Amino acid sequence: MSSNKDKSLTNEVEAQPVVEDNKRRNFLRGAMAATGTAAAAVVAPIAAKAKEMDHSMHGGMAGENYGSMMFMENHKMKPGNIIEPPGSPSPNDVKYKVFDIDVQIVKHEILPGIVTHVFAFNGQVPGPEFHVTEGDWVQVNFTNRTEEMHTIHWHGIVLPYTMDGVPMVTQDPVHPGDTFVYRFQAKPSGTRWYHCHWSTPLHAASAMHGAFIIHRKNEPLKKRFPYTRDYTLMLEAMDTNFIREEMNGLLEGMKEVNLLMSKGLLDYKTHGFFKDYKEFKQAVESGEYVAPYLQSRSSGVKVEPNFFMINGKSYPATKRIGIKQGEWIRVRLINASGLSHHMHLHGHDFWWVAMDGNDLPEPRKMNTIHVEPGSTYDVMVYGDNPGFWTWHDHKTVHARNNGIYPGGMLTVLAYEDFEPTYIPSVSTDQ
Ligand SMILES: [Cu+2]
């Protein structure tokens, strides 16, 4: 099912039979009521791709014995399905650029000494960066290599609704082991992005996000701003305590699923799904179903990010932005954090040229740009003041690591072609 496979995003998936019956799964009333808990509502059994999985939880995580392999061996699952929903032209009719992407649980280092487990696209934070041209037909084979459910929402892309990646609104969540095939045309142009839409405060805010850049064939902005380098800065925030608690909660949920299955109370791919609001309401009112919100969360804590990142790293681990004298660079800011960030560049004004992927009617000159949650902002910087220049969130509580300044959402615009009279060093103890 492929053509023009892009190697930079390849993570080979075996060809498997197409599943024709993608009906909504039965929801589980009896088992939920039987246990008096709904923790299992957010987890599901895994499927056959599990043998490829290698992310057993350990090192401070609860429930060491609930890795994929044991689960597979105890319960004979069907192989993972490939789900190809309707909504876009057949590959016989248009030529798709094909990308393979998966989600795995991996350890991610934010800073030396700070490592957290995250759900990550292709095991990286942020996820792989897509670069396509406006009008390209894009196929993304998304394989779920975790025990949790996920989807991919294509943020800012105008596509058929069945490709929009919102669980229970446009598709069933992608179950463990399964591969969901997204197909759409890349439009409109500009800085767009993608993220998981299942359990979004945990999945998308932690690491399941990435840039989706749709280029124009002849970029009109290059006339006024002839940029030679193009940078993407994903702005992120993580509450590592919340992530740890939630991950441990998920493992507990899996334990429960194991127990229910061993008693025959839970079938393959059943969970707390309802066909409509009325059915859901009746199940709650009759006591057949105990909704998760009727009980306290395992963590019982608010989400309060303690690490603020640019492309997966906090200062001083952030990567510098290179520039030369006389060079224009384009910087695409994408806010995946759920917080607002006021990104201030020292020593320069820059031109704000686009918002949410769309060009502004008239560029604006500024040096602090307010980057709101979910939005993208493009700016052009001209290299006319050689040196090392801080570029950081001026909400300075976000320029800290675990409450310690300096750190967090801070990087450096670094000129590459001058004789410095002061060379930056590193201190995290102020
Ligand atoms: Cu997810």
In this predicted structure, what is the pLDDT of residue 271?
A: 60
Distance CA 360, CA 191 (A): 13
Distance 141 CA to ligand 1 centre (A): 15
From 212, 137, 224, select the one nearest 181 (Cα to Cα): 137
Does the pLDDT at position 48 exceed 60?
no
Distance 200 CA to ligand 1 centre (A): 7
Distance 378 CA to ligand 1 centre (A): 27
One domain, residues 29 and 142: yes
Mean pLDDT, rounded, for 171-176: 87
Is the Cβ–Cβ distance between 143 and 152 less than 8 Å?
Answer: no
Distance 171 CA to ligand 1 centre (A): 14
In this predicted structure, what is the pLDDT of residue 20?
A: 26
Does the pLDDT at position 6 exceed 60?
no
One domain, residues 59 and 205: yes
Interacting residues of 227 by C-beta distance below 8 A, sequence separation 6+: 221, 327, 328, 329, 330, 380
Mean pLDDT, rounded, for 61-85: 49
Distance 119 CA to ligand 1 centre (A): 7
Is the Cβ–Cβ distance between 261 and 46 less than 8 Å?
Answer: no
Distance 375 CA to ligand 1 centre (A): 20
One domain, residues 91 and 204: yes
Distance 239 CA to ligand 1 centre (A): 16
Mean pLDDT, rounded, for 388-413: 96
Distance 203 CA to ligand 1 centre (A): 5
Is the Cβ–Cβ distance between 361 and 395 less than 8 Å?
Answer: no
Distance 151 CA to ligand 1 centre (A): 6
pLDDT tens digits, one per residue of 245-304 = 888 877 677 667 667 766 766 654 456 678 889 988 998 899 888 887 887 655 556 789
Q: Is residue 80 in a domain?
A: yes
Distance 359 CA to ligand 1 centre (A): 31
Is the Cβ–Cβ distance between 210 and 121 less than 8 Å?
Answer: yes
Distance 225 CA to ligand 1 centre (A): 38
The CATH number of whichever domain residue 207 belongs to comes to 2.60.40.420
In this predicted structure, what is the pLDDT of residue 261?
A: 64
Q: Is residue 277 in a domain?
A: no
Q: Tell me which of 182, 197, 219 is where a domain ends.
A: 219
- The DSSP annotation for 269-283 comes to T-BS--SSHHHHHHH
Average pLDDT across the chain, whole number:
80
Q: Is residue 59 in a domain?
A: yes
Q: Is residue 87 in a domain?
A: yes
One domain, residues 204 and 313: no
Q: Is residue 285 in a domain?
A: no
Distance 223 CA to ligand 1 centre (A): 40
Distance 209 CA to ligand 1 centre (A): 9
Distance 289 CA to ligand 1 centre (A): 24
| pLDDT band at residue 148 under the 50/70/90 scheme | confident
- Paired with 376 in beta bridges are 334
Interstrand relation of 388-393 and 410-415 (parallel, antiparallel or unpaired):
antiparallel
Q: Is residue 258 in a domain?
A: no
| 366 HSE (CA, 13 A, CB side) | 14
Q: Tell me which of 219, 239, 256 is where a domain ends.
A: 219
Cα 240 from chain centroid (whole Å): 16
Mean pLDDT, rounded, for 8-28: 29
One domain, residues 204 and 345: no
Count of domains observed in the chain? 2
- Paired with 97 in beta bridges are 138
Mean pLDDT, rounded, for 105-127: 94
Distance CA 167, CA 180 (A): 12
- Output 237 or 293, whichever has higher pLDDT: 237
Structural domain span for residue 112:
7-219
Distance 125 CA to ligand 1 centre (A): 14
Q: Tell me which of 219, 247, 270 is where a domain ends.
A: 219
Q: Is residue 264 in a domain?
A: no
Is the Cβ–Cβ distance between 363 and 352 less than 8 Å?
Answer: yes
Distance 144 CA to ligand 1 centre (A): 9
Mean pLDDT, rounded, for 41-67: 30
Q: Is residue 298 in a domain?
A: no
Mean pLDDT, rounded, for 191-217: 92
